[in-house]
Amino acid sequence: MSAETQIKETVTNNDVVLFMKGTKSMPQCGFSSRVAGVLNFMGVDYADINVLADENLRQGIKEYSDWPTIPQLYVKGEFVGGCDIITEMTLSGELDELFAKEGVSFDKEAADKIREANA
């Protein structure tokens, strides 16, 4: 199976997917750790895909999204962004709005705590 096919199947078959370096329980870079930390704290159920385990996947995800960096977050098959975008969306409340609009379960109280801590 090609990397593109594998990526397309993954983002289609899971509501929320994070392509990251490492795993949600053991991130291998600070940027991946930040995004996984936000999702974990907010109680979002998501698939974590470790791009370090497969070089074809690591390069393939960059080509698939036309985005040069990892991590990459997908919601309902759509590319949302990388670390900086997810951080901004979390702090502005846009990530809450996206999850609510797409029917993704999350802890609103936890999201509010993140914003309070960063105010």
User: Residues annotated in the binding site for [2Fe-2S] cluster, as ranges?
Assistant: 29
| Euclidean distance between CA atoms 65 and 61, whole angstroms | 6
For residue 1, give Cα distances in angstroms to 17, 56, 76.
Answer: 19, 11, 22
Cβ neighbors of 109 (< 8 A, separation 6 or more) are: none
Cβ neighbors of 97 (< 8 A, separation 6 or more) are: none
Which residues contribute to the annotated binding site? 29
CA neighbor of 70 nearest in space, from 49, 91, 88, 90: 49
Rounded to the nearest angstrom, the gap between the alpha carbon of residue 76 and the centroid of all alpha carbons in its chain is 11
